[in-house]
A = this chain, B = another copy of it.
Amino acid sequence: MRAHTGRRRNDAAKAAILAAATDLLAEGQPVTLGAIAGRAQVGKQTIYRWWPSKGAVVLEAMTERARSLAPTASTGSLEGDLEAFVAATFTAAGTPEYAATLRGIVSEALRDEHAAAVLAEFTADRREQLYLIIERWLPDVDADLAVDQVYGVLWYRILIGHATVDDAAGRQLAATIAAQLRAAS
């Protein structure tokens, strides 16, 4: 018995698929499996060889792009770090293309359990970044609710669209949360 036979999976194909999915999302075009496959010069079966569903592809495409977005470097104080991180996050997420992408992701996740798993992982990763910043200054405080308030406002506004998600909103929220955390410690 051999350990492995047959042609190896082609990582270039996987990358092309993710790139195509990201492009379509960014351009606001309909994110069809056929469109992804066509743009990536890939057969549809190849997509299903790498992901269990359409939603999972789309979500992974976003996750990759988002992971290196908000700054985590320290500015010298809890207030400064929080403000930098939250404001950067809000600024990025507030652009029309990015917001549209996030909405698309949730839409996929709500219809596809695989996509939901990837979304859970993605959001957990984002929360973790925020935990690390808070922990740096207030290691003993319970930050669960504060973190959810930050991302809650972000997602809620993006999904409903009743209020802006921008630098100013981020700064205001960061200041409020910082005060709340100081009071709790």
Q: Are A155 and B152 in contact (CB under 8 A)?
A: yes
Q: Are B159 and A148 in contact (CB under 8 A)?
A: no
Partner of A176, one of B120, B173, B180: B180
State the copy count for this chain: 4
Partner of A124, one of B123, B124, B127, B162: B162
Binary interface encoding of chain A residues 95-123 relative to chain B, with 1 for a CB under 8 A from any of its CBs, else 0: 00000000110110111000010011001
Bound: A154/B149 CA distance, A = 9
Q: Are A156 and B151 in contact (CB under 8 A)?
A: yes
Residues of B within 8 A of A153 (CB): 145, 148-149, 152
Q: What residue in chain B is nearest A157 (Cβ atoms)?
A: B148
A172 located at the interface, meaning its Cβ lies under 8 Å from any Cβ of chain B in the complex: yes
Q: Are A106 and B180 in contact (CB under 8 A)?
A: no
Task: For residue A46, give the distance in angstroms from its CB to the closest CB of chain B.
Answer: 14
Bound: A123/B151 CA distance, A = 18
Q: What residue in chain B is nearest A154 (Cβ atoms)?
A: B152
A132 located at the interface, meaning its Cβ lies under 8 Å from any Cβ of chain B in the complex: no
Bound: A176/B144 CA distance, A = 13
Q: A157 with B152: in contact, given A111-B107, A145-B173, A176-B180 (CB under 8 Å)?
A: yes
A160 located at the interface, meaning its Cβ lies under 8 Å from any Cβ of chain B in the complex: yes
Residues of B within 8 A of A160 (CB): 119-120, 123
Task: For residue A101, give the distance in angstroms from its CB to the closest CB of chain B.
Answer: 12
Which 7 A-B pairs give the minimum distances between C-beta atoms? A152-B152, A152-B156, A107-B110, A152-B153, A149-B149, A148-B153, A155-B156
Query: A144-B163, A145-B173, A176-B180 known; 8 other A-B pairs, CB under 8 Å?
Result: A120-B160, A120-B162, A123-B160, A145-B172, A149-B173, A149-B176, A152-B154, A152-B155
